[in-house]
Amino acid sequence: MRSTTQSKLYIHLFFWILYYMLEAYLDFYWSRYQFPDFKWQIRLQNTLTLELGYFLVKIPLAYSLLYIYEKGGINKLFKSFLSVIIVIIAVLGHRFFTHYIIYPYIYGVTETFDGKLPSGFINGLVAFNSFMDLIFMVGLVFGVEITRQKNLLKDQISMLKAEKLDQELTMLKAQINPHFLFNTLNNIYGMALKKADETPDVILQLSKIMRYNIYEAAERHISIEKDIENIKDFIQIQKIRHRQLSVVFNEDVDNPSQEISPLILIQFVENAFKHGVSESLGNSFINIDIQLKNKVLHYSIENSKEERSGGNSTKIGLKNIHRQLELLYPKHNLQVEDKSNRYIVKLMIDFNDTVSI
């Protein structure tokens, strides 16, 4: 709130400085023809003085109308009536200052109409000139303030959208972690029933992965190097259980520090194990290829599956991960091929075109 108030103060102060310079220039230029006998130094001094005097009328007028415009709970008809009264008072003040102060005391002459006839305090044409001068200034002030408020509203909407996306991503990640833990504990449970010697090693690997999920995955972005390391740890756990599994892992990354949202890539690997390898009766395989070149990621996973395996078992996980990709990488490309004996996922992410959250 304080920064918003300060920003408003600076913007309006900057506006009045520019407006003062503009009006002073115009009046100084006009005085060349109205008072040709005056030296330019005198005309400049008079111009700067009279513009400061006009501010005593213009600034109260501008902010009185702004206050009425922004004030809620007031009837529109009453607002209009009050605005008209304020403008009339301002025009009278403008005329009084011009007629009784500027001409006799600053320029030392009597105000004239069209340079010949004496001009009274109220004259139709000069009063209209005062009115137009004031309305022009009010229009500028309203334009500045409305533009400032629109930009402020736009920033607030952007912040709310970012917070909403952040909350949604947090919820999506929270859905991933229990899902991953549940699957891995099922694997450990199966090994424990068989009293497998590798069970302690798997538990240790799981501890490492969960440490990653708790600390690293809480970050908005991590290096792709850490994300790949987590995938390798996950594969190591699964290979202990699936002894007839063939895993081919190709990695070609030109920038290991490239940031990526955590827990996206591993979901495809998890699906390959759960809905592909785990349902295969014979020898099974998983081929993983990760390539990062010039900030463009190409990621593909191909896994074996039984012909009887249904194609709907991975829909929940893919729906979750697809939503994350939409939020973070709107122009990603995700292709899924569900064939009779294999399942293929291809993902392309261009890190040059990402959403900042």
Instruction: Give residue limits of the domains in the chain.
Output: 2-122, 164-350
Indicate the SS3 state at residue 333: strand
278 pLDDT exceeds 80? no
What is the sign of the dihedral through the CA atoms of 46, 52, 54 and 56? Answer: negative
Give 289's contacts (C-beta < 8 A, 6+ positions apart).
Answer: 250, 298, 299, 300, 301
pLDDT per residue over 214-271, tens digit each?
A: 777 777 788 999 999 989 988 887 777 677 788 899 999 999 999 998 888 888 888 8
Q: In this structure, which amino acid lies at residue 92?
A: L
> Any idea what DSSP says for residue 246?
E
- Tell me if 48 sits within 8 A of 102, measured CB to CB: no
Average the pLDDT over 119-131 and give the result.
Answer: 73
Mean of pLDDT values over 202-206: 81
Average per-residue pLDDT for the chain: 81
Q: Model confidence over 76-123: pLDDT tens digits?
A: 888 889 999 999 999 998 888 888 888 888 877 777 655 554 555 666
Give the N- to C-terminal CA distance of the chain in Å, as an integer: 22
CATH level 3 topology of 164-350: Heat Shock Protein 90 (3.30.565)
- Tens digit of pLDDT for each residue in 152-164? 888 877 776 666 6
